[in-house]
Amino acid sequence: MRLGVIDVGSNTVHLLIVEAHPGASPVPYHSQRSTLRLMSYLDDDGAIVEEGQRLLIDAIQQAADTVAELGVDDLISTATSAIREAANGEQVLARIAVETGIELRVLSGDGEARITMLAVRRWFGWSAGEILLFDIGGGSFEIAQGADEYPDVQVSLPLGAARTTLTFFRDDPPSAQSVSQLRAHARAAFTDVRDRLFSDRPRPTRVVGTSKTIRSLARLVGGPADPTTGELAPIHYAGLREWEPTLRQMPSEVRQFLPDITPERGYQILAGAIVLRTAMKVFEVSTLAVSPWALREGIVLRYIDGLDAPRASEPSVFRAADDDAASAS
């Protein structure tokens, strides 16, 4: 069957269409994205302003038009932290449904972490053992850990690359003081969750990072992907530390010309690097493996798993994730 996923994030509206069958790896059929930087369109109260809503609706309509043109057997539409945390998120969701016909399902932060862990586990397999997962989005930073397909513990923090850029970096390039403030803020947040939630967990056998920001940093720090397998080199803490001063000295319009750094990532890649390096330091991680599969692939995999069930339905894909997260907490 052909399955479509519309994912509304803090930076992009991404449409992924795959050929999906039980027992088989999903095969990409079509992918397109519209860059929004939705968090740049929040007012002082945290509501998405009219211009941002219009851009969002137009991007979702483009995705819906592509779905209609290419055809899918089923369509799953999700939204993450940007709409989840917007003061007028419910009103924006209702407007999107009226104007585009697309009803977005908003994932919780814990739900994001759990579904992403499923994708990572399927990619690396059971032999990876205890996995510690870092996932940097535009608005949030998810951390999860466990030895199974779903984590035993997970947390979502407001430390996404776009959010921290907008919150801490008023100048471009940022001042040394603002960089220090971001690092101190991230260190305090990571230390708190490490001590509260992860201190009783066994030492991970593999630490994995996923998201566009982490994949971009992997190409920057570790070099291009393997031409045969497409696998990215791991991110070493030492390499990230060496690159950070260079990124700090560059304005965002220069960073976008670095290898594999797109314009939409150029403005936030420094904050992403700082937050990731801080997480690695707090959790004592020297090397971070990179997973090409993340939230969207996890959504697809969970859907495929449900195809053998007597009554598989799109909402149950997410209800199970959120119910699992609620019971775990």
End-to-end CA, the chain:
35
In this structure, the answer to whether residues 183 and 126 fall within a common structural domain is: yes
CATH number of the domain bearing residue 254: 3.30.420.150
176-179 long-range Cβ contacts below 8 angstroms, 24+ apart: 176/248, 179/248, 179/274
326 in any annotated domain: no
In this structure, the answer to whether residues 81 and 143 fall within a common structural domain is: no
Tens digit of each residue's pLDDT (9 = 90 or more) over 188-225: 999 999 999 999 999 999 999 999 999 999 999 988 88
Final residue belonging to a domain, choices 106, 122, 148: 106
297 in any annotated domain: no
In this structure, the answer to whether residues 63 and 158 fall within a common structural domain is: no
User: What are the C-alpha distances in Å from 72 to residues 4, 59, 62, 75, 290?
Assistant: 6, 18, 15, 7, 30
| Helical H segments across 169-261, by residue range | 176-193, 212-222, 237-249, 252-255
In this structure, the answer to whether residues 207 and 162 fall within a common structural domain is: yes
In this structure, the answer to whether residues 157 and 70 fall within a common structural domain is: no
320 in any annotated domain: no
Residue-range definition of the domain harbouring residue 19: 2-106
Q: Among 288, 296, 299, which Cα is nearest to 232's? A: 288
- pLDDT for the residue 312: 45
pTM here is: 0.91
In this structure, the answer to whether residues 119 and 88 fall within a common structural domain is: no
User: Is residue 309 scored above 90 in pLDDT?
Assistant: no
Dist CA 136 CA 29 (whole Å)? 25
Dist CA 102 CA 90 (whole Å)? 14
CATH number of the domain bearing residue 52: 3.30.420.40
Q: How buried is 115 (Cβ within 10 angstroms: 0-12 exposed, 13-18 middle, 19+ buried)?
A: buried
Domain count, the chain: 2
Highest mean pLDDT among 193-202, 306-315, 317-326: 193-202
In this structure, the answer to whether residues 184 and 96 fall within a common structural domain is: no
